[in-house]
Amino acid sequence: MARLVFLGTPRAAAVSLQAVVAAGHDVALVVSRPDTRRGRGSTRTPSPTKRAALDLGLDVTDRLDDVSGIEAELGIVVAYGRLVPSSLLTALAMVNVHFSLLPRWRGAAPVERAVLAGDTETGVCLMRLEETLDTGPVLASRRVAIGEREHVSALTDRLAVIGAELLVDSLAGGVDALRAGSPQRGEPTYAPKVLPDELRLDWALPASHLERVVRLDRAWTTFRGERLLVLDAVARPALLPSHGDEGAPGPPGTLTGTSVATGDGVLELLEVQAAGKRPVPASAWWRGVRTQPGETLGNGEQRR
């Protein structure tokens, strides 16, 4: 079994941490991002990976420099959220579990960018870490089909499990048995973080694109000056009568029942969450707000 250092932050990384510990590897240190402040209070919340490490009785730090004082055979990096400097990589070889089929979607948001682009396939790569962004040789990979309406959260959960299995399988023979890896082949594409403006539903765009934005799990619009989260929706080629409403779709953003006119087709709202409220079926929200004929979403500035 190997003596490891583990770098990771979100829940998807915690899955790999738990897997290598369950496989019998010695994790000497876990490095995660600093605790974050939630809400208006002073309470700080540890990352999912830090929480998993504490539950496992492992030593945890948010200081990357602390790795240099640890005697380890290999570093494991899973969605850590920060580039590892070359000085540290010189001192300790590292491998990275990355949620895409490299070189497609190098960067911070590979799952989100795959969904937003309409990809039908993605995967997981285990690669040797280099100072440059996701450029290292690939040791192993697995392909994964993306469900037609699969959301980023569900897809990430699946990839996290597959990535953990790939990591454990690759380490089964010990660190010395790891292959050198194969150079990445193909045209690189990059996956920068998704910005808040990209999550705002622009009703002038096609319904098929807006459905993909909704599948990112943080899509929003406004209604009567208040933010409205759209948690689930499906694109339709044409407006269908909904809850007894008839008539032409109208300009983009026009509500007809739970259907919203777009630049091409309609987006049928399935689940929404109004500001300060719980998620509800869109049909229940629609009955509660009693929309007026021709009323639109995304019209006007959001109230502060």
Tokens 């590892």 belong to 84
pLDDT digits (tens, 9 = 90+) for 136-160: 999 999 999 999 999 999 999 999 9
Q: Tell me whether residue 304 is in a domain.
A: no
257/272 Cα distance (integer angstroms)? 13
Does 170 share its domain with 223?
no
pLDDT at 19: 98
pLDDT at 36: 86
Q: Tell me whether residue 142 is in a domain.
A: yes
Q: What is the dihedral of CA 137, 141, 147, 151, to 10 degrees?
A: -60
pLDDT at 302: 52
Q: Tell me whether residue 188 is in a domain.
A: no
Q: Tell me whether residue 191 is in a domain.
A: no
Does 239 share its domain with 285?
yes
**Amino acid letter for position 65:** D
Answer whether 75's CB lies under 8 Å from 95's CB.
Answer: yes
Q: Tell me whether residue 294 is in a domain.
A: no
**Amino acid letter for position 101:** L
Does 228 share its domain with 172?
no
Does 120 share its domain with 173?
yes
Last residue of a domain, one of 177, 205, 220: 177
Does 239 share its domain with 147?
no
Residues of the chain with pLDDT under 70: 39-42, 239-249, 299-304
Does 214 share its domain with 107?
no
Last residue of a domain, one of 150, 177, 204: 177
The count of domains in the chain is 2
From 195, 198, 201, 209, select the one nearest 299 (Cα to Cα): 201
pLDDT digits (tens, 9 = 90+) for 271-301: 999 999 999 999 999 999 998 888 999 965 5
Q: Tell me whether residue 50 is in a domain.
A: yes
Does 150 share its domain with 222?
no
Residue 27's domain is classified under what CATH number? 3.40.50.170
Does 53 share its domain with 122?
yes
Strands of the chain (E only): list them: 3-8, 26-31, 36-37, 44-45, 60-61, 74-78, 94-98, 121-128, 138-145, 220-223, 226-236, 255-256, 259-261, 266-274, 280-281
Does 50 share its domain with 102?
yes
**Amino acid letter for position 20:** V
Residue 265's domain is classified under what CATH number? 3.10.25.10
Does 112 share its domain with 83?
yes
Last residue of a domain, one of 177, 208, 241: 177
Give percent helix, percent strand, percent coil of the chain, each to the nearest 5: 25, 30, 45
Q: Which domain holds residue 155?
A: 3-177
pLDDT at 244: 47
Q: Tell me whether residue 234 is in a domain.
A: yes
Does 151 share its domain with 207?
no
In terms of DSSP bridges, do strands 44-45 and 36-37 run parallel, antiparallel, or are they unpaired?
A: antiparallel
Q: Tell me whether residue 189 is in a domain.
A: no
Does 107 share its domain with 205?
no
pLDDT at 240: 52
